[in-house]
Structure 1
Amino acid sequence: MNPTGDASGVLEEALERLHAAGPERLGRLTNHAPMVVEALAAHGRSGAVHRWLDLYEAKLEEFPSPVEPVTDANWTAALGDPRRVADWIAYFTRAVGEGSWKGVLAEWWPRLLPGMYGGSTHPVIRVGHAVRSLIEGGESAPRLAELAHGLGYWAARHHPLPGIALLPGAHEAGEALAALDAVAPIRDPHGGFPARLALVEQLPAWAGWVADPDAARQRLAELVRAATHRYATHGHGNEIMLVHAATAPSAVLRTLPALPRTLWAPSLHAAWLASAAVTAMYAPSEPVPSVPPGRISAEEVLERALAHGDEHVIKLTDTALDVGDEQALAAALRAIELGEPLA
């Protein structure tokens, strides 16, 4: 099942509706709606977009107030300041409106890439959805605005992870992820994402040696597949946060076609470290057996995810459909089983 660009205009309507809301709620939780509506539209479920959004709307908060304009001269001081999210979104709205969106993306991607951990990796995921909508559906004002919102959110939540020791790693992505169980043991099992992230001190340099762009893209696809497969057996470690071990590198993979090839290898490296860190932070003590999905199609899995309604379930299913094999479908079904349905 391959995603296709939505030509109905429903995605534009939904994005315009959502751009009056902020990228977060309760001061720390991410607004997932722009990502979910793009995923539904991309997979031919435009008819469900507004129905789903009606259910999610109670979680939206008003767009935040600006503080001080971000400019080409002062942006470094504003980077990573969540209070400046409205300023950052305004900055990128101007930048995208004045030039090529691919040019803006190419300029800012290497600046933002080291800070992928901010917002629990949600900003890069939002950018990945926005880029896919532009690649597959063409440019429109709401889609360009969504890219600006995603980039602005990422800049405001930019959070690097310095001082990580890189260790030798397995050749296969699945083996490298499996070896992470004993990496960065969690001394505070109840700590949130920032607290757990601070405990990650070393990770395997699985993808660090790749320099060829085509090899980097192949390895990134391998990582997305391995992280998605792993959710089927390890998702119970944290049914929400472990989704990001797959969806964050998936967002990077979706963005590669819009980036200069020189950025593909650095993108792989950053995506691997983010996926590995999340995997280590929430790895359960023991896996569970993966249950084969049986005679079920990708379309049926998507329908089950949509009926369930949880935003993380839909986004993992979106990535699982991109991977497209039986173990990926099993991961999506596992997410449906573990997640709390959207009321």
Structure 2
Amino acid sequence: MDTRDATEPKDISDRPVPSDTGGHLEEALDRVHASGPEREGWLSNHAPMVVEALAAHGQSDSVHRWLDLYRDRLEDFPDRTAPVTDDNWLSALGDPRRVADWTDHFSRTLAERPWKDVLAQWWPRLLPGLYGGATHTVIRVGHAVRAVAAEENAPRVTELAHALGYWAARHQPVTSLVALPGARTATAALDAVPAIEPGHLGFRNRLAAVRGLPVWADEVTDPDTARERLTELVRAATHRYATHGHGEPTMLVHAATAPNAVLRALDSLPRDQWAPSLRAAWTASAAVTAMYAPAEPVAHVPPVRLSPEEVLQRALAHGDEHVIKLTDTALDVGDEQALAAALRAVELSEPLAS
């Protein structure tokens, strides 16, 4: 018997996304594209993801104010090395020094071909390496796809080029994972994820310490079923943050936002890519769970019940980029427990300094 709630919506990505943002999103993206995808050699530039999330939830008037607060965390766009071409791309894959070259490659390609065709070609090439940049690579692509799917214009297509270029440059596969006994539901499967041994510092070292993950949804081949299960995973990981986010308030956000980025891309991808996308999203969510899970969960009941609009306002007032991005996913999920997870992120995280 399927233990999922039959009243749950089959897809949390059906909510309409505003296409007309008054030009505020486009202006913000133009500002961001003068900056590189990282700072201090590793930390991801969250500005393009946050401004898209705010615009998608009707907060276009806030994107420049937020970006002004974040601007000290932006670094100049990196130098170019040598062009990436159709003949040499494989040798450049996963080389972060080539991020400008990759961005140029996708800018040229997207100028020549429809963006969905480019995405369909590159998605299966990049999907095995979605752990790069601590999963921010695929998350940025998910935001870019949502933006350009709502309205195709030059700044949004340019953002897709930057996002795909970042993913290609930071492409990082994970191999040799042992398949562990799984569970039927996404919630139970996440509960079954074993934590890594303590003492590993940094995302790369922690990821290397993940030896095995529970099997979940590996039998799915039907595209529509893959979409339903991916929706289930996003919901379960978002809910879980409310009780487990204290393990690492920033990094555990990605257990929910990475699979949601994949979910956002599905409608723009060929259906035969949906089931592989589900499997990659599960592995990413489970790996982040293993890397940062706390020793014990905590019961969490938000002190007040707030509407989705009020939760978004609290996240925006707090300002932290991960809080806003988790709230973005929580609003997609849309239920009370998801909103509680967003409020928990507000409680646990340091606010963006004004």
Letter in 1 for 2:172: H
Q: TM-score, normalised by structure 1?
A: 0.97
Q: Distance in 2 between matches of 1:93 and 1:119?
A: 21
Aligned pair 1:119/2:133, yes or no?
yes
Is the 2:132–2:171 Cα contact (8 Å) retained in structure 1? yes
Match of 1:175 among 170, 185, 188: 188
Aligned pair 1:282/2:296, yes or no?
no
Alignment partner, residue 145 of structure 1? 158
Aligned pair 1:259/2:276, yes or no?
no
Q: Distance in 2 between matches of 1:165 and 1:335?
A: 32
Aligned pair 1:245/2:258, yes or no?
no
Letter in 2 for 1:30: S
| Count of residues in correspondence between the two structures | 339
Query: How big is the shift at 1:205?
Result: 1.8
Alignment partner, residue 19 of structure 1? 33
Deviations 1:21-65 (A, max 9, x none): 000000000000000000000000011000000000000000000
Alignment partner, residue 163 of structure 1? 176
SS of equivalent to 1:340: coil
Alignment partner, residue 220 of structure 1? 230
Is the 1:4–1:42 Cα contact (8 Å) retained in structure 2? yes
Query: How big is the shift at 1:2?
Result: 5.5
Alignment partner, residue 19 of structure 2? 5
SS of equivalent to 2:192: helix
SS of equivalent to 2:79: coil
Alignment partner, residue 53 of structure 2? 39
Is the 1:293–1:329 Cα contact (8 Å) retained in structure 2? no
Aligned pair 1:188/2:202, yes or no?
no
Letter in 1 for 2:199: D
Alignment partner, residue 142 of structure 2? 128
Is the 2:302–2:343 Cα contact (8 Å) retained in structure 1? no
Letter in 1 for 2:339: L
Is the 1:81–1:157 Cα contact (8 Å) retained in structure 2? yes
Match of 1:207 among 217, 222, 229: 217
SS of equivalent to 1:80: coil
SS of equivalent to 2:213: strand
Q: Distance in 2 between matches of 1:310 and 1:187?
A: 27
Query: How big is the shift at 1:301?
Result: 0.2
Alignment partner, residue 93 of structure 2? 79
SS of equivalent to 1:155: helix
Is the 2:21–2:60 Cα contact (8 Å) retained in structure 1? no
Query: How big is the shift at 1:295?
Result: 3.0
Q: Distance in 1 between matches of 2:303 and 2:270?
A: 38
Query: How big is the shift at 1:290?
Result: 1.9
Query: How big is the shift at 1:166?
Result: 1.6
Q: Distance in 2 between matches of 1:5 and 1:195?
A: 40
Q: Distance in 2 between matches of 1:267 and 1:280?
A: 20
Q: Distance in 2 between matches of 1:212 and 1:323?
A: 23
Aligned pair 1:49/2:60, yes or no?
no
Is the 2:35–2:74 Cα contact (8 Å) retained in structure 1? yes
Query: How big is the shift at 1:4?
Result: 2.5
Q: Distance in 1 between matches of 2:175 and 2:289?
A: 18
More off after superposition, 60-69 vs 202-211: 202-211
Q: Distance in 2 between matches of 1:6 and 1:217?
A: 27
Alignment partner, residue 340 of structure 1? 350
Runs of 4+ in structure 1 off by over 4 angstroms are: none
Query: How big is the shift at 1:185?
Result: 2.3
SS of equivalent to 2:94: coil
Is the 2:99–2:166 Cα contact (8 Å) retained in structure 1? yes
Is the 1:184–1:202 Cα contact (8 Å) retained in structure 2? no
1:108–1:293 CA distance, 2 compared to 1 (3 A) = farther
Q: Distance in 2 between matches of 1:263 and 1:18?
A: 30
Match of 2:313 among 295, 303, 311: 303
Q: Distance in 2 between matches of 1:49 and 1:198?
A: 37
Q: Distance in 1 between matches of 2:133 and 2:190?
A: 22
SS of equivalent to 1:160: coil
Query: How big is the shift at 1:165?
Result: 1.4
Is the 2:196–2:206 Cα contact (8 Å) retained in structure 1? no
* Identity value in percent: 70
Uncovered stretches (5+) of structure 2, i.e. residues with no partner: 1-14
Q: Distance in 2 between matches of 1:327 and 1:296?
A: 11
Match of 1:60 among 74, 82, 101: 74
Is the 1:6–1:42 Cα contact (8 Å) retained in structure 2? no
Deviations 1:76-109 (A, max 9, x none): 0000000000000000000111101000000000
